[in-house]
């Protein structure tokens, strides 16, 4: 082993020694005989791979018996990779403790809500609150760091894998009580926050409190919410303990972990983002028809967590995606197209799970960069082609900030609270609401940021607030001041309903946002069947939903702003317009100063407001009290001033701007040829583009534009 010294930078958010974009994936050499390793590294070189995550599930190989380490094989792997020019994102293997661990420490195995103690046999069998697991984790992290601190291949630390394991054991219960003491201060405050007067749940001693274990009927929603918050913090504590050791021994090496998406993940990435040197995410779209939109969604979310700074796509699938009821092979071209989407939206590269598809084991059917067929395969050829392309983007480096005029608020705690079982409609789902908001923007060709409430929103022309069920007073004030200063806020139903303890705000919904929206909602009427909404004031009846945006625009904005009645609760002229449908949800709204943009037609709410707009200060706050389809939603946004995109439908444009340069990423998600107005140099082909960029079906381009391009 040779050793290197790299000067410490102020920020260490770039894998050490990797200048351009990162390209590679999880590499699990412990699954293969050594002769395969040489072929692996040769293939990696050919494919332009420059970074691999090693050892993420290798604990039983690294520490076959408690305290006895076997590093010989890993030494050889790291040396080989280094010789091949591949950097290593070295993982601490704590997501998969070895068989001996559970036998030695049965109390550290996780307990499910129903009291079942899980056993070794899969992965993630541990409780982050169990002292033996905490100690073993830090020990193995220290052993790795001591061994490899000076290894030249070491580019980054990858702590654990996809934090998200729930445990309801006694260790977790004790730690939960400590956390609750710190959060609530006193039992009185906790009893009040959890509304324990209901069903005789009042706690007289801390020892009486437990995690939300299996119980007879509905659990206490505030307890469940606090438990998820606690789990996020407990896991963060586990991460921090390892990070401290890695930082102490390798101060120049960035440390990260990979965030997962999903309702099962009790991790609040907003809280974690400041603890990782480079935000890293895994992404597996689960709907083939929406895969491109879901990719943009995940990438925008990751950039939000990273505060607009570069982040890294740590995992995606190369071939078959191991998810859903039916595995799905990525169609030709999608590996590159999705990777470029992530890079356009701020990823510092494209990484995969995993390098070589396993021949056995639980995930043997998950695709690999080298599939079961070997390198002579369509998938590997696409991997090689992409690897040859990415260095052409090297000049783009940091790439400048992604430019977005619209933000969507993202609040995992509202998501968690809405997962509770006893809500007025099980069809009101946080993720659906947020994904729809993003999808509508994406299809309209508008790039969105995700923002954390409350936060600085002044950079955005428009902010969407989907299903922000929990809203603190600070969030309500923050949104009001955004609108006062000229912003356009679009709030959708079931926002602002509860406080941070998941208690309903009284006096009419949506409690926290009532004044800002200029309305008061008396009751909710979840819908079984769609309801018609009557749009106001057009004299051009239309039979296509695509006309809705135009009709609404005529009535709400632009030169016709004077047509819109003020905030006296009067209507936009009524009755002659086409209708749109509302689904899932409806509300009995009384306008308290808001103009009515659409009314319910028929049923118990006939003639009452469904969509409203309230002027507040220099801005406007729009409220959608029912679920619209995507076209109608887009119509509302266009009417409210959403900037129009120059892109043809199905073409994704992302603009990046830095000091002295700007770039346009153009990605064609259609099966037709497309044209986009652009001038500059195509970095991928080196060709000049003079006014018109032509994109092949599924094609993409990255254009360096003259800096003064508007
Ligand atoms: C990820 C996980 C990987 C692998 C992959 C495919 O969520 O981090 O280890 O399991 O999914 O299922």
For every residue of 138-186, DSSP letters joined together read HHHHHHHHHHHTT-TTEEEEEESSS------SHHHHHHHHHHHHHHHSS
pLDDT for the residue numbered 395: 72
Q: What is the pLDDT of residues 423-454, one digit of tens each?
A: 999 999 999 999 999 999 999 999 999 999 99
Q: What stretches of 7-153 adopt beta strand conformation (E)?
A: 22-27, 51-54, 87-92
User: Is residue 513 located within the same domain as residue 567?
Assistant: yes
User: Is residue 483 located within the same domain as residue 558?
Assistant: yes
Query: Which tokens in the block code for residue 565?
Result: 């009645």
User: Is residue 464 located within the same domain as residue 599?
Assistant: yes
Q: How far is the CA of 14 from the centre of ligand 1 (A)?
A: 23
Q: What parts of the chain have a pLDDT lower than 70?
A: 1-10, 322-324, 396-399, 537-578, 708-710
Domain ranges, residue 547:
406-639
Ligand 1: which atom is nearest the Cα of residue 95?
A: 9
Query: Which tokens in the block code for residue 63?
Result: 């520490």
Ligand 1: which atom is nearest the Cα of residue 323?
A: 12
pLDDT for the residue numbered 570: 47
Query: Which tokens in the block code for residue 294?
Result: 């879901």
For residue 652, the cross-strand partners are: 667
- CA-nearest residue, atom 12 of ligand 1: 322
Q: What angle do CA 657, 659, 663 make, to 5 degrees?
A: 30
pLDDT for the residue numbered 549: 35
Q: Is 353 in the pocket of ligand 1 (CB under 6 A)?
A: yes
Q: How far is the CA of 390 from the centre of ligand 1 (A)?
A: 24
Contacts of 237 (CB under 8 A, 6+ apart): 128
Domain membership of residue 276 (yes or no) is no
Ligand 1: which atom is nearest the Cα of residue 57?
A: 9
Q: Is 363 in the pocket of ligand 1 (CB under 6 A)?
A: yes
Domain membership of residue 188 (yes or no) is no
Q: How far is the CA of 355 from the centre of ligand 1 (A)?
A: 12
Q: pTM (2 decimals)? A: 0.93
Q: Is 626 in the pocket of ligand 1 (CB under 6 A)?
A: no
Domain membership of residue 149 (yes or no) is no
**Beta carbons of 374 and 10 less than 8 angstroms apart:** no
End of a domain among 603, 618, 639? 639
63 among known catalytic residues = no
Neighbours of 627 (CB within 10 A): 22
Count of domains observed in the chain: 2
**Sheet of 406-409, strands arranged across:** 448-451, 406-409, 462-465, 488-492, 619-624, 609-616, 595-601, 531-534, 579-582
At 556, give phi and psi (nearest 5°).
-110, -35
pLDDT for the residue numbered 567: 53
User: Is residue 533 located within the same domain as residue 663?
Assistant: no
End of a domain among 618, 639, 660? 639
User: Is residue 625 located within the same domain as residue 663?
Assistant: no
Q: How far is the CA of 452 from the centre of ligand 1 (A)?
A: 27
User: Is residue 469 located within the same domain as residue 566?
Assistant: yes
Domain membership of residue 557 (yes or no) is yes
Cis (ω within 30 of 0) for the bond into 408? no
Q: Is 366 in the pocket of ligand 1 (CB under 6 A)?
A: yes
User: Is residue 585 located within the same domain as residue 687?
Assistant: no
Domain membership of residue 145 (yes or no) is no
580 vs 628: CA distance, rounded Å: 8
User: Is residue 557 located within the same domain as residue 487?
Assistant: yes
Sign of the dihedral through C-alpha 289, 293, 297, 303: positive
510 vs 490: CA distance, rounded Å: 14
Q: Is 315 in the pocket of ligand 1 (CB under 6 A)?
A: yes
319 vs 623: CA distance, rounded Å: 42
Domain membership of residue 592 (yes or no) is yes
Domain membership of residue 240 (yes or no) is no
Ligand 1: which atom is nearest the Cα of residue 260?
A: 7
Collapse the DSSP code of 677 into the 3-class scheme (helix H, G, I; strand E, B; otherwise coil) and give the result: strand
User: Is residue 655 located within the same domain as residue 632?
Assistant: no
User: Is residue 554 located within the same domain as residue 625?
Assistant: yes
Instruction: Identify the active-site residue in 63, 315, 382, 601.
Output: 315
pLDDT for the residue numbered 288: 86
Q: What is the DSSP string of 680-700?
A: EEETTT--EEEEEEEE-TT-E
Instruction: Identify the active-site residue in 30, 34, 146, 162.
Output: 162
Cis (ω within 30 of 0) for the bond into 510? yes
Of 579, 576, 580, nearest to 539 by C-alpha is 576
User: Is residue 470 located within the same domain as residue 540?
Assistant: yes
User: Is residue 629 located within the same domain as residue 659?
Assistant: no
pLDDT for the residue numbered 358: 97
- Residue with structure tokens 């799905």? 328
pLDDT for the residue numbered 671: 96
End of a domain among 611, 639, 667? 639
pLDDT for the residue numbered 554: 35
Q: What is the CATH number of the domain that holds 530?
A: 3.40.50.880
Q: How far is the CA of 683 from the centre of ligand 1 (A)?
A: 33
pLDDT for the residue numbered 394: 80
Q: What is the CATH number of the domain that holds 678?
A: 2.60.40.1180
Domain membership of residue 603 (yes or no) is yes
Q: What is the pLDDT of residues 563-600, one digit of tens each?
A: 333 454 445 444 445 689 999 999 999 999 999 999 99
Q: How far is the CA of 153 from the centre of ligand 1 (A)?
A: 24
Mutate to test the pocket of ligand 1, among 282, 314, 365 (most ligand atoms within 8 A of CB): 282
334 among known catalytic residues = no
Q: Is 162 in the pocket of ligand 1 (CB under 6 A)?
A: yes
């Amino acid at each position: 082993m040779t050793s290197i010294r790299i000067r410490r930078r102020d920020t260490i958010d770039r894998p050490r020694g990797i200048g351009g974009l990162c390209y590679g994936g999880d590499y699990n050499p412990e699954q293969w005989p050594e002769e395969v390793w040489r072929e692996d590294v040769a293939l990696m070189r050919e494919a332009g791979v420059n970074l691999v995550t090693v050892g993420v599930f290798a604990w039983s190989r690294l520490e076959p018996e408690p305290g006895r380490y076997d590093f010989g094989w890993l030494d050889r792997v790291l040396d080989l990779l280094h010789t091949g020019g591949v950097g290593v994102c070295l993982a601490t293997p704590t997501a998969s403790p070895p068989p001996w661990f559970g036998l030695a420490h049965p109390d550290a195995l996780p307990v499910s809500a129903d009291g079942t103690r899980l056993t070794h046999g899969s992965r993630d069998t541990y409780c982050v609150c169990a002292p033996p697991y905490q100690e073993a984790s830090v020990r193995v992290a220290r052993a790795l760091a001591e061994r490899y601190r000076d290894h030249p291949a070491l580019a980054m630390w990858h702590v654990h894998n996809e934090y998200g394991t729930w445990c309801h054991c006694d260790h977790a219960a004790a730690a939960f009580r400590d956390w609750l003491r710190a959060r609530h201060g006193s039992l009185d405050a906790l009893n009040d926050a959890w509304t324990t007067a209901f069903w005789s749940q009042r706690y007289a001693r801390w020892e009486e409190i437990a995690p939300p274990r299996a119980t007879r009927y509905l659990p206490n929603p505030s307890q469940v919410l606090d438990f998820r918050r606690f789990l996020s913090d407990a896991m963060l504590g586990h991460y921090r303990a390892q990070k401290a050791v890695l930082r102490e021994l390798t101060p120049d090496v960035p440390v990260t972990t990979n965030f997962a998406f999903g309702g099962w993940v009790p991790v609040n990435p907003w809280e974690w983002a400041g603890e990782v040197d480079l935000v890293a995410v895994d992404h597996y779209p689960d709907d083939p028809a929406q895969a491109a939109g879901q990719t943009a969604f995940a990438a925008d979310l990751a950039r939000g967590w990273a505060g607009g700074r570069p982040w890294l796509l740590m995992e995606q699938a190369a071939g078959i995606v191991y998810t859903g009821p039916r595995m799905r092979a990525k169609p030709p071209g999608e590996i590159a197209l999705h990777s470029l989407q992530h890079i356009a939206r701020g990823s510092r590269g494209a990484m995969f799970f995993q390098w070589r598809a396993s021949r056995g084991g639980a995930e043997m059917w998950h695709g690999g960069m080298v599939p079961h067929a070997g390198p002579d395969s369509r998938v590997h050829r696409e991997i090689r082609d992409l690897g040859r392309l990415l260095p052409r983007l090297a000049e783009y480096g940091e790439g400048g900030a992604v430019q977005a005029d619209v933000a969507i608020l993202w609040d995992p705690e509202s998501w968690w609270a809405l997962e509770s079982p006893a809500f007025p409609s099980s069809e009101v789902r946080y993720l659906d609401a947020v994904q729809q908001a993003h999808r509508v923007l994406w299809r309209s060709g508008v790039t969105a940021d995700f923002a954390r409430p409350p936060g600085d929103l002044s950079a955005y022309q428009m902010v969407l607030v989907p299903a922000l069920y929990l809203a603190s007073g600070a969030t309500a004030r923050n949104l009001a001041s955004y609108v006062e200063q000229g912003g356009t806020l679009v709030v959708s139903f079931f926002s602002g309903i509860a406080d941070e303890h998941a208690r309903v705000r009284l006096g009419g919904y949506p409690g926290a946002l009532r004044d800002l929206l200029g309305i008061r909602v008396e009751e909710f009427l979840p819908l079984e069947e769609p309801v018609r909404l009557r749009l106001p004031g057009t004299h051009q009846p239309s039979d296509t939903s695509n006309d809705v945006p135009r009709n609404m625009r005529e009535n709400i904005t632009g030169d016709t702003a004077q047509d819109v009645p003020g905030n006296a609760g009067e209507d936009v002229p009524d009755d002659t317009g086409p209708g749109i449908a509302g689904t899932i949800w409806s509300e009995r709204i009384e306008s308290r100063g808001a103009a009515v943009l659409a009314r319910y037609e028929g049923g118990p709410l006939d003639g009452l407001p469904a969509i409203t707009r309230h002027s507040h200060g220099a801005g406007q706050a729009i409220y959608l009290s029912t679920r619209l389809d995507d076209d109608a939603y887009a119509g509302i946004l266009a009417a409210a001033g959403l900037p129009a995109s120059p892109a043809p439908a199905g073409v994704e444009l992302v603009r990046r701007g830095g000091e002295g340069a700007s770039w346009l990423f153009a990605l064609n998600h259609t099966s037709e040829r497309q044209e986009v107005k652009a001038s500059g140099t195509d970095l991928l082909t080196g060709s000049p583009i003079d006014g018109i960029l032509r994109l092949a079906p599924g094609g993409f381009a990255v254009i360096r534009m003259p800096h003064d391009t508007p």
